[in-house]
């Protein structure tokens, strides 16, 4: 498969063009020769030199990431950014990024993946960003203890995972927006949800959550955004026969 054909494949799955108006990420091919042949695709959350090197060592011609290198504003190709570009070019590694379209996807997305893992039912769009719902919400078929939900999604403990236990201990309704979406807790409160799950923690919403009686789990930006790239890798391998590898490089955030 050529890189340009791989691009067409991903564009047939993800809403890259429709979400371009709200996503600062340059989604699609960010670096690479569109006519090169592809047999192995690496997947990772973040575009950085360490990931580039690991992907290249694994024999990948393309690296698919959630967080790419280009975010709207022009940036000089100097310093660390120059070294990143040099690493990609010297290792003949193409870079492909999918940001909000991966968060939002109803099957492969970060949020949908967590919702399915929890067994949520009656799933609806949730977590509005610039007029578009990126996350999802739903209900559990039977009440589930908050600790059980945490164990199901994350391997952390309370020492490394932020948990605000201000709502019921048994959960029946959940809203999910991966990554940096702490302030969307307001939407979860307005919807009367028992639990809101996101990535990044925020001091600002502590009292808001406490006074509203809602539980909040901060699963970490990285950990809440591993789901989509993993599922996309599985689907690509299944549908195209291409070899896929996952590069895991947690940040602790």
Q: State how far the Cα of 49 lies from the Cα of 39, in Å rounded to an integer.
A: 21
Q: What is the pTM (predicted TM-score) of this model?
A: 0.95
Q: How many CA atoms lie within 13 A of 36 on its CB side?
A: 15
- Give me the mean pLDDT over the 188-211 stretch: 98
Domains and CATH numbers, the chain: 3-103 (3.40.1390.30), 105-222 (3.40.1390.30)
Q: Please report which confidence band the pLDDT of residue 155 belongs to, taking 50, 70 and 90 as the band edges.
A: confident
Among residues 175, 170, 158, the alpha carbon closest in space to that of 124 is found at 175
∠ Cα 7 12 17 (to 5°): 80
- Give me the mean pLDDT over the 75-100 stretch: 98
Q: Which two tokens stand for residue 168?
A: 């019921």
Give the pLDDT confidence of 28-46 residue by residue, as tens digits.
999 999 999 999 999 999 9
């Amino acid at each position: 498969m050529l890189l340009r054909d791989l691009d067409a494949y991903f564009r047939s799955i993800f809403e890259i063009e429709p979400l371009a108006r709200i996503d600062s990420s340059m989604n699609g091919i960010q670096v690479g020769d569109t006519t090169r042949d592809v047999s192995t695709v690496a997947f990772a959350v973040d575009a950085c030199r360490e990931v580039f090197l690991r992907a290249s060592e694994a024999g990948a011609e393309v690296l698919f990431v959630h967080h790419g290198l280009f975010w709207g504003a022009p940036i000089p190709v100097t310093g660390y950014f120059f070294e990143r570009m040099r690493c990609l070019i010297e290792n003949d590694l193409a870079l492909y990024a999918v940001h909000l379209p991966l968060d939002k996807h109803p099957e492969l997305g970060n949020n949908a993946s967590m919702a399915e893992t929890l067994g949520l039912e009656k799933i609806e769009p949730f977590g509005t960003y610039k007029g578009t719902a990126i996350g999802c919400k739903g209900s559990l078929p039977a009440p589930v203890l908050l600790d059980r939900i945490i164990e199901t999604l994350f391997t952390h403990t309370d020492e490394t995972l932020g948990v605000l236990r201000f709502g019921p201990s048994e959960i029946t309704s959940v809203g999910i927006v991966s990554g940096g979406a702490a302030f969307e807790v307001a939407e979860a409160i307005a919807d009367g949800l028992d639990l809101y799950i996101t990535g990044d923690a925020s001091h600002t919403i502590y009292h808001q959550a406490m006074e509203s009686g809602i539980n909040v789990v901060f699963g970490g930006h990285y950990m809440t955004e591993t789901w989509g790239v993993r599922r996309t890798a599985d689907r690509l391998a299944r549908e195209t026969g291409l070899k896929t590898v996952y590069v895991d490089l947690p940040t602790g955030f």
